[in-house]
Structure 1
Amino acid sequence: MFRNSKKKPCRKGTHVWEWERGRCPGEETRRCGRCEQKEAYDPHTWGVWQYESPMTCQQLRYCLVCFEKEVGALIHKWSLSPYYFDENNIPIFVCTHCKETGASEEADRYLMSHEYT
């Protein structure tokens, strides 16, 4: 990182910190003026995870103070569909929330724990 650079690494405890404020009260980032290492303090008051919309399984949450958005994981609710089968006549999983079809590790675990005919 510092090869061919005028910046030199700081020894432990020798950083020269410069502070920057964020939008949310108490949100601060500090950067060392010598080695440019960055550290952030995140004081956001996050709300609960919720679905982005009724038609998607994308999870979101918002800061209750500044309304900054954080994007989470896709969380599907898989179930076996009585209407969809693959070419080997094996039932296909359908997400009951967004109607996506397919398989996932979560769906595979469901299949292994339930027998079907």
Structure 2
Amino acid sequence: MEFLVELCNEHDDLVRARFQSRHSNNKNHIATVRFDNDKQQPIDAWYCTCSAGAREVGMCSHITALLWHLGVIKAVISTDNHPLSASRLIKAIDDSTHFSENDTNSDDDNASALNDSDT
């Protein structure tokens, strides 16, 4: 599948992509995102011509796909360093196996310590 991102000649802060409708071969949707690079959150606004694209809260799948494409596919991201990387999660699981099963504190000791602090 080809994914063409279009830039606007008149407005350099607009990016758009065309999506073919899944329900009709004759219909296309245009997802448009406006960026403001001077802000901490650079995604300023978005709109899509699909039926869900003009919503007030959240965004449609076309806008999500465009942002994902711009942020993930076009970026050079090392998956090992990404905070949501599965390899990082596996390392955390491996680290947790180093804890001993023979813990000197039992659950009963912890419960009595909690009860003593209530009085």
Q: TM-score by structure 1 length?
A: 0.27
More helix by share: 2
Q: Name the TM-score, length of structure 2 as normaliser.
A: 0.27
